[in-house]
Every structure is written in C-alpha cells, then in structure tokens.
Structure 1
C-alpha cells in the first residue's frame, strides 16, 4: 500500500496526541477499508475423547497433531493461516519494512566479540557486513598473529532455510575442531570434525546428538550425548573414537529417570569430564579423569531428592554450590577424595535468606560470585588466601549482570557481561585484588542512538495478596507523559525460576521512539527475589504468576505509565502460557497480545510422556496423573479454559519444527479461540515453516518476526498508519 502524506502525518506523535483507534478509522478512508477483512480459516471439528480421574474432556482439534509434520491436511491448514495473516497485515507491509530496516540498522555490521585466551590461542567470532552468520576464528599467541578461520557458518548455512551451530570444541592439541550443526530447528544436532591444520573434514559424523562434544586428553576420544528419537531427551552419554563408525560408540552413562536432563562439560583445568544430571528439584554430577577416557564415571555426590548442587574443581578441592539446608544456596568446600561425605563439606559462604547465590567461578587465588539481593545482582570477589571481600557496583537503576568467559584459572581479573535497558551489552573485567573495572567492549548501536534520551526505572507494584512485585521500565524521555496517554508493552516469563533481568534490546527502541513504555514484570515463578519467589509461582502456586501479571497491568495503568486503552502484553513459550491464562482471566485489560511458541495445552501435553520435556517438568507444573494436580492444572490450562467471551486482538506465532512446544498446541488454541470468541478483534496465527522454538536463524532475518509483532501493536494504536518515530 502506498504511503500518503496524510497517513504519515497522522502517525507522527501518535502517543502524544492520544488519538483513539476509532477516531483514526473515522478520519482515514484507507483505514476504514481495512475493516473489510477476509474470512479466517475455520478448522474442522473431530471430537476426541479423553478420560482420566472420572473426568471426560472433548478435544475437537486433536487431529491437528502430526509428529511427522507431513500430513497434507495439517500443512494446508497452517499455510491457510499464514495466508490469512499475510492478508490481514498486508497494509502494514511498508511499516514492517520500515521497522525491519530500523532494527537491523542498529546492529553493528562488522561486529566482533572480545577475544578469549585459551590454551595458547586467542578465540573470537566476527561478522561480515550483511552476512547472517558468524565467522569463528583464532590467532596463535598474540592478537597480531595471522588469523586462522576455523569455521565460516555462512558457507555451511548456504542453501538452508534454517541453520544453527552448537558449542565449538577444540581438541587439547589445538588441531581438531568438533562442531554440532542443526539445519531444521528441532535441536537435534549432527557433530562434525574438522582438521584445523589442513582444513579437511574428517569422515566421522555423530548424528542425533545434543549440541556439545567434550574431548578426552588423548585427542582421539570424544564424549557426546545421544537423544531419544521420540522425546528428543538427551539420555545417553556416548564415547566415540575418531576413525570408527558411530555404530561402534559405547554408552558410558544412561539416564533411566525421564525427569532428568543430562549434559556434559570439562573442568577448566582440563583434568575432568563431567556429566551433569538435573531435574526441576534435584541435581547431581558424575566425573571421569580426562586422561583415562576408557574408565568409568562415578558420582561426585549421590543424588538426593530435593538436593541441588553443582561443583567446580580447584586444585585438589571441589567448591560446591548447594541448597542443602540453604534455600537460597550456600557455597561449600571439600577435598576431592571426601566429596561423597557431606559431613566433610566446609562452609565458604553461608546461607543468607535475603541473598540468592546465583553463580560463581574460581581462580587460583580468588572466588568470584554473582549474588542477588532485593532483586538486583551484584559481583562479589573473595580472596581465598586472606578472605578479603570486595563488592563491585554498577550505576544503572536496574540492570543485568552475569559471569562471562573465564577459562583461565591463573587470571588476575574476572570477566563479566553487563547490560541495562539503556546501556548496550558490555563486557568488563574486574581486577581481582581491587575490584577496579575496565570496559573491554560495548556494543555499538548505529543509527544515532543516544542513551541520554531514555530513562529506566525500577518500581514495585502491590499484588492482590499484598506481595510487592518488581517491575522494570524504560521510555524515551521526550515522548513520555505520566498522564495515562502512552501506549505500553508489558512483557514477562515467570517459570522455571528463570529471571528476566532488564537488558538492552535494541529492537525495543523502535517502540520507545514512537512513545511506547516498555515494562518487564518480574512475577512469581521467576527467581528475581530469591528461591522463595520461584516456589511461590510453581505447582499449586502457579496461578500467582498469572494474577501478578494482571495486577502489574492494573498498577501501571493506575500509576499512569500507560493508557488503559493502549496496553499490550507479550510472552513466549512458558510466557505464552502466561499470555493464554491472562487473556482468559482478564481479557478486557489488553488492546493486543502476542504469544510466541505458547505452551497452552498444559494438561494434554503433561499427560503424554511421548512428547519432549513432559516427564522432566512434573515438578514444575505437576503430574496430572495425580487427581489434585490434574484438577489444578485444568483450572488454568489456557486451551481448556477458552470460553465464549470477548478476547483482545491477538497474534500467535510458532515454528513447525519446534521441539520445546509442539506446533499443534498453538494451532489448536487458535482454532478453539476462533470457534468460541464473541468479539470481532483480530486473531492472527503466523507459522514459520522452516524453524523451531527460537524462530528464524541468522542475525538479520529473525527481525522480520519482530517487525511483524511491532507492526501489529502500532497498527492497533493508529490503524492503517505508516508510523515513523517522532524526531
């Protein structure tokens, strides 16, 4: 659709003028024409009965499940949904292109990472302008040495609709590279090997693997994880010898409890291969000398129900982060030979009910810890010789801080990653003896970004049960009026104890520059306020997650951070479940909602052990084979709770090859919403037919999906308008 001067002027300053969508349509003939939309796809209904605990459910859209993803009827319906979304959003194509150009224009075209020194080489990745994928390179001994390109992912991805590389692993001899690749988005990898001296690929090819390989110290033996072909769960640790067929690989560990995830690593001193065992509430670790790859793994400490621990090796000791008698975790130390005797563990950092020990790393003389107090992370450095204790601070009101790459035990500094809602992603080194910070690199944001134009805040909003929920906010100073006129986008996740700290999203600038306020609700189910914050938002407390989000929306509106008629909500995966629950419970609060790869068919999925991730997550959601869990989960399951009522405008997205949330969950949900909803609001379903859970691969084209979402919001605020940021 061609842009007219009147249309463009209409969009400028949309937030400041506060003009309603109805007024816009009335004064804009082009927008009026948009009201005549094509008919949405209507799915057939085939009743499918499910009976458990004496309760019967009827699922009319169960037929949409096709594990092969080839059924003509299913594919045809998905393509019809895409065609419908394209038709409804066609008038925003120019807006989408503007947004896409803005967002990709803020990406540093020749970006490179801060080099990391490991085993006599400096490793880094860099990008070529306009190329989608990274080049992985290294230099021997010095950054002035000739560059060695290990892997150009652009060449590997050529001709693929989707392509992803897992973790690169270089052999101890520095000669061989193991790299996992996925060309479908199902997170099922093939591990390949390259001779870095000759550039030739080895004939070895390890299929059906997780995205990591670990070398033994003989430079010939590799450990990797084999996946169950049905559940996609990594459950077997395999030993492979280069030059032999995969069919001869040996199972060195098999996880028989489907509640556990399995992954592998190598100790930083190169002496141990680790197998990590993790469920929602229990974890463990097994070890093997990397010098004896034919040996047997043994448990560092036996798994105990509700005991979570992880251990790092330093010299002849283990440092163990554990929740043993410590809800927010504490740090212990024990000699390697005594690790299996918990009575010999000695406390290094005691438990503190107000501080969550989140992460740690070790150096020859120092310990670096990421702690969370009052919702905010901080860096603490402890001298292991004299116990000198340093706190390293940062200045933003709210921010994200984490440990970065620290491969060398003899380093005199710790590297951390830092970001805030107004500060681009940054890498610092903190001197271990003094805590003095040095900025190594901060992402450049082309296109005229000035952090002084933006303001971030951290506030608390009281939920219905009196609990105060943290909220992080950002807006453009000259576009914000705390008078209830600004459009507002509220985002949250709220599951698995995952904390969504406020970090820099360059794409969000496109909304801020158009007058939006962006808010992150740190609801229960995350771990923003410690372990108890997580426990209060899972299992039989799960509804707190949903009501927190709703109460934050009401609080932000009451405090006039956003206009009640221009509130938007967004979440993905388990955050998509959140969106589904919220629109069932309080649909009137939201002008528009985007739900990405949403986990919405909770009960049916959690009753089916053949679906990836089901059994692993009984301790997160509950096991519906138990009547009490079944009834509680059913009471909030978004798909089961869809009813005849008005719903907000909605955009739902998924990937056909999603391994985390199967495509048929959102597909069924959209069909049921179309059947029952009583409004005439938009309900759009966009399916990436080439991708999985994470959407499109590549650093540029993934923003096509973001542009569609933002156009969806902006078009609802000013229908039919091509919106540009106000200068």
Structure 2
C-alpha cells in the first residue's frame, strides 16, 4: 500500500473553499480476488473483502484506515476555521449546566444534570417530602444548590481517562437501597453490570460481563435479571439472574432463545406485579411473565406466530395488549385475563382503524394514554374509563409529540413531550380532569429566537403516484426562487419514523440561508404500517425513489437550486445515501453517509456478522435467489459504477457492532477507482468509537461540525457569520 503524501506545504496555499480531491493524493486500497458464494451457486468477486478483520488488529487494514483519516485531515485542513466556528456556534447554544425534569418514583425524585464544560451527566435523586416537587427541585438545580441531592452515578468520574464510555440501564432496587447499572467502555455494546450500595456508597466487587444494557430487579432486592449477548453475533440470546454477592459464573439460566431471528428484552409490568421477557423479530412476538415476588416460573402469554406481533402490559387486574392480530395492520388494543396463555382469551378493546396507527399506550388510574399516528403526524389520545376520549392538542402544522416519563400511574397528570423543527424539546404536564396544562421545561437554546424561523409540511408525488410527506424549516426572509441551498435528511427503514423535532445544530445551516428538509419516505412508519411494508424486502427501492422524487420536487418548486442540494443519512439511512448516489448522482452536489450499511449482499450472506439473522425479514435472506437477485440491484457497494459521483463525507466507527467498519471502507475503496468526477470523497474512521460515534455530549458536535463544514463548502454557502435578523 502506498503511503499517503503529506502535502503540508501545499495546504498552506489552498483557499478556504473549493477543496478538490485532485490537489491531494487519495489512498488506493489494493485489490485481492475473493469469491463470495451463495448456497444456490451464485459467485461474486469481492476484491476488498480483505479489509474485514473481526479482531480489529490487522496491520494492513489499520494502516489503510489511518491513511484515509490522514487524507481526510488534509482535505479538511483548509476548512478547519469554519469547522471551529460551527462547533463554537452549536456548543454556544447549549446551556452547559442544564438538568432534566425530575420525576417521582417510590418516594424519590430522579433526574440527571450536567456541569459546565463536562461531557457526561450526573445521575441523581432527591427524597420526596413536604414542599418537594419537580418545580422546587428545578429551582434548586438552577441555583446550584445540591445539598439535598444523592448522586447515583457521576459519569464524568467513571469516564475519566477513557476514549469511550456509556451507561445503559441504571436501575434502583425495590427498597431504594441498591443501584445496578450497565457500562460500556469500548463502544461495541457489550456491557458490564456493576452494583452500588446507595446508603454507604460502596461499589461491590460483583461484575457481570458480555450483556445488553437491560436490567430488572426482583422484589427480593438481591436478584437481578439481565440479558446475555452471544460474544460473536452480539445477539441477545439468554436471560439470566444474578444474586448479589455471588460469582457471575454461578448465575442461573432463566430462558434461552434458540431462534436467532429474534431480539430479546426484559421489563416489569406497569403495576409491578410481573417481570416480563419479550422476544421480537421483524414479524413476530412472544412474551413471558412471572410474579416479581417469586420469579421462578415464566408463563407464555401467547405463543409466537409468524406475522402476529404484540406487546403487553399488566394493569388493573388484566393484561392490555397492542397487536396486529386478525388483520389489524395498524394495530389494535385488546385485553386478556391475568392468567392468560393464548390468543383465544383476547378481547377487543380499541378497534383497528385503517387511518390510525397505534404506536403504544400507557395505563393510569381512570384513563389510558394512547400514542397514535394519523396523516403522518403523531398525537396522543386520552381514553377514559367511561369510554369518553379526547386528543392532546398540538400548536403547529408539523411537529413531534409523545409520552414522557410517567413513572407512577396513580395521578391525573399526564406528562408528554412536544417539539417541532422550530420549537425546542418541551415537556408539558396535562391534567386530564381539568384540562390545565403546565409547561415543565423547554430545552434552553442560548441565542435562539423561534420567531425567526418557519416550518412547513408539504406533500410530494412519488413516481408511482404515492404522496410523500416532507417537513421543511428555513429562516424568515427565505425566497422560494430556486437559488437556495438544501440539506435533505432521510432514513426509511425498520418502520422507524423520522419525526420533525428540533435540532440545535441545524440552526447553523438555517442561519446561512440553507433550507432543511426531512423526507418521510416509505420504509418508515410515519403513514402507518403499510408505509413500512411498502419500503422493505422486495419493495425496498420505493425508499430510494421517494427520496429522489422529494429532491426533484423541492427543486422544481423553487426551494433549492438544482446544483445546491445536500443529502444526509446514517446507518440504514447510509444505505439510502449509497443507493441514491448510484441511482441519481446528478441530483446531489454533496452527501453525508454516517456508519452506512452499504454492503448489503455480502453482509446478509454471513450469519456470523452481528445482528445479520435478525434482519432477514427486513431485507430478505440472500441465500434465496429471489432476494439475492433483488438485493444486487440496489446494494450500494455492488452498484458502484463508472460515473461522476457527488462529493461524499463518509464516517464510521472501528468498533461499530451494528454496521461493521469494513462496509464503508470497501465502498469508499471502490468509489475511489470508479468515480469519474472531481468532487472530493473523504472517509473518517473513529478508531475508538462504535455505532453512535464518540461518547460525550460535545464530541459528537465536533464530528457534526466537521461534516457541516464539508457540506457548506461544497454547496458554495457563504461560510461567514450567520445571517442578520430579517
């Protein structure tokens, strides 16, 4: 492999804008023939397969990634002042000593808070008592009065000296005396469970390794249930229980899932009577339950059936179940007795509606709150015990709304979250009896004035006639004359809905005249379950077509200039970027693809790669010729062609457990050979990070500022100070 040329002298003379890859030497990865075979005999040559190293130790591979990082450093060097300016702007909007809204649970008020200049939160609680409520605690936190606070975890101290650190679940025992938490200092989502005595502060010697970040205490305050991962595939395969003070090697197996197409999770019912084990694939579910006071025997609520999904909670003496059974594509709610063991015992409660998708629910004394979607937007339905119902009101045409933390059911106050592309994240409390609404907290954004921005919801006709919703935001004074720059974001997989929520980083784009758009394309679930079904398996190309058609429509309607369009997506949204780059490179000036899933066929042919087998019902199983052939028509890596590509900013993490680093590495290596255009392609690998990038609240903004600087430069946006007030 040729070393990267360090052209420091040349960099000194480059202008701040108009960086071209031709001025620098890009790394060239060697090609080594490698056949990738299918069970039915098809063979493909994967010349960059050698970049895969499961141990992350191969010197040639690491040298290549380092060479790409060095090349990216060189390309980005002239833009460093802009990156720094963007970073300072973004971080400057953050109230650095902010705290979450406290919530009450079993006699204590819980919250997390940050200290100025620090990357990680402090998780804390205060004892309930006379005059103590969410408002008084917020006032004390704002005043810097922490005398009555008990610190559960100071994650800053825990993360000291580590390149990466993350805390998953942190669960307090039923007697409020013990804390169990899951921590990861690698970024591969293989967690370690630790324990702490909250009365004395002692951290116990117990350590349980190789687990998911999902913990549940039993009622005896000594037994902790957890989910063990397979060390190779990282699949959640076994539920075990650990008794405090005993070695992890003595932990007893509670349940083992033999079908590797299922994910697994554990929890407690709303009324705290049961511990539950839930397993879910893309198209099927199954739940087991056992008394939390004596969790020895777990009973199946309803046996799994293909194409029948359900989730359940126990409250008020019976099971409440959300399910798509009996043709309820958008899901319905049913009830079942406490000793339920089959679907024959289910009774319809909230009927299926073709126009309304039920996302979830939460039970309270006297009412139920139901998360729903209708017309591409979220809403909360309040269903009272007497059958009367109403909806929580929204204030804007495009917004995101959902249930917040409601830890205790014996209340007439419902907490919910609200946000939009112009409204920072807001927590409200609604009295379901009187209708009174309290503002508990709005995310403080320093220097931000929402009145200076406008949000819109528009509908675009996709090429097959389906109308696709698009959420837009721009600064007041914007003229729809076809000259502006556009930054379009999309995802479109797994039924994940990309709702229009506030993004403080995007303000830096808006203030420079950029229009920001979220394309709610098929493969998500914004328009209900059919929207998801029409964007997966053998209909996956609808996702890509929708995104392209949104771009073309926005340009045609004057929201942007044809040569000033940026596109962005991550993970499965990175697959979207890769596919769109192959299909319509002429429609985009620049793309950002973070941790992109771009080697679809090879990955899905290898069940040893973490999480692959869980994805067969999302993408298809390429061991079957029908799916293999279809995947080959869109897999970004397999469809790189001799054509001019947009500028590309590609990012990954060496320790990513969801999209392995070698996927974007191989894709970039192939693009470097086949790209006939002159726009730069840069590839940044975080050598100490996983799927979510580096840890810490500020580090991710540094990464975002780097990609934003690249995009603004490529779009020819004036990179100076933000626009003056209109």
Q: Shorter-chain TM-score: what band?
A: over 0.9
Aligned match of 1:631? 629
Per-residue CA shift, 1:242-281, capped at 9, x if unaligned? 1110000011100100000001111232221111110001
Give distance in 2, aligned partners of 1:425 and 1:640: 40
Q: CA deviation at 1:724?
A: 2.1
Report the Cα distance in structure 2 between the residues aligned to 1:228 and 1:335, rounded to whole angstroms.
35
CA deviations 1:85-124 (Å, max 9, x no partner) are: 0101100101000000000111111110110100100001
Contact 1:572 1:595 in 2 (8 A): yes
The Cα of 1:534 is off from its aligned counterpart by 0.5
Residue 243 of structure 1 is matched in structure 2 by 245
Distance in 2 between residues matched to 1:76 and 1:402, nearest whole Å: 46
| Contact kept in structure 2, 1:392 and 1:435, CA below 8 Å | no
1:32 deviation in Å? 6.9
Distance 1:539 1:434, change over 3 A: farther
Contact 2:303 2:342 in 1 (8 A): no
Q: Which residue in the other structure is 1:45 paired with? A: 31
Corresponding residue SS for 1:113: coil
Spell out the pairing of 1:263-662 with structure 2 (5 A cutoff).
263-293=265-295, 295-325=296-326, 326-337=328-339, 339-384=340-385, 386-446=386-446, 448-478=447-477, 480-662=478-660
Aligned 8 A contact 1:205 1:246 in 2: yes
1:340 to partner: Cα distance: 2.2
**Partner of 2:506: helix, strand, or coil?**
helix
Equivalent position to 1:232, from 234, 237, 257: 234
CA spacing shift, 1:201–1:590, aligned 2, 3 Å? same
> What is the deviation of 1:200?
0.8
CA–CA distance in structure 2, aligned partners of residues 564 and 377 of structure 1: 32
Task: From the superposition, tell whether residues 417 and 117 of structure 1 become closer, same or farther in structure 2 (CA, over 3 Å).
Answer: same
Measure, in 1, the Cα distance between the counterparts of 2:160 and 2:345.
55
Show CA shifts across 1:163-216 (max 9, x none). Answer: 000011000010000011000110110010000111010111111011021100
* Shift in CA distance, 255/533, structure 1 to aligned 2, threshold 3 Å: same
Structure 1 unmatched ranges of 5 or more: 1-27
Match of 1:724 among 696, 707, 721: 721
Task: Please state whether the residue corresponding to 2:321 is helix, strand or coil.
Answer: strand
Matched, 1:670 2:662: no
- Counterpart of 1:187 (choices 161, 186, 189) is 189
User: By how many angstroms is 1:31 displaced?
Assistant: 4.8
1:103 aligns with 2:80: no
Distance 2:357 2:423 in 1: 24
Task: Please list every run of at least 4 consecutive aligned residues from structure 1 whose deviation after the TM superposition is greater than 4 angstroms.
Answer: 28-36
1:123 and 2:110 matched:
yes
1:432-489: CA deviation from partner (whole Å, max 9, x where unpaired): 224442211101101x2100000000000000000000000000012x1100111000
Tell me, what secondary structure is at the counterpart of 1:201? coil
Return the TM-score normalized by structure 2.
0.94
Answer yes or no: is the 8 Å Cα contact 2:512–2:719 preserved in 1: no
- Say whether the 8 Å CA contact 2:581–2:646 is kept in structure 1: yes
Which has the bigger relative contact order, CA under 8 A and spacing at least 6? 1
SS at structure 2 position matched to 1:562: coil
1:67-216 matches, cutoff 5 A: 67-142=54-129, 143=132, 146-216=148-218
Residues 622 and 552 (structure 1), Cα distance of their counterparts in 2 relative to 1, 3 Å cut: same
Query: How many angstroms apart in 2 are the aligned matches of 1:705 and 1:555?
Result: 30
| In structure 1, distance between residues paired with 2:574 and 2:253 | 37
Contact persistence 1:195–1:202 (CA under 8 A): yes
- State the shift of 1:64 in Å: 0.2
Counterpart of 2:705 (choices 684, 704, 707) is 707
Is the Cα contact below 8 Å between 2:35 and 2:44 reproduced in 1? yes
Is the 1:403–1:415 Cα contact (8 Å) retained in structure 2? yes
Residue 341 of structure 1: how far off its partner (Å)? 3.5
Give the Cα separation in 2 of the matches to 1:232 and 1:54.
29
Q: Give TM-score scaled by structure 1 length.
A: 0.94
- CA 660–30 in structure 1, closer or farther in 2 if over 3 Å, else same: closer
Contact 1:272/1:287 (<8 A) preserved: yes
Distance verdict in 2 for CA 1:138–1:57, change over 3 Å: same
- Tell me how far apart the structure 1 counterparts of residues 342 and 713 of structure 2 sit (CA, whole Å): 62
Gaps of 5+ in 2: 1-13, 138-146
Q: Structure 1 residue 35: deviation in Å?
A: 7.0
**CA–CA separation in structure 1 for the residues paired with 2:384 and 2:367:** 5
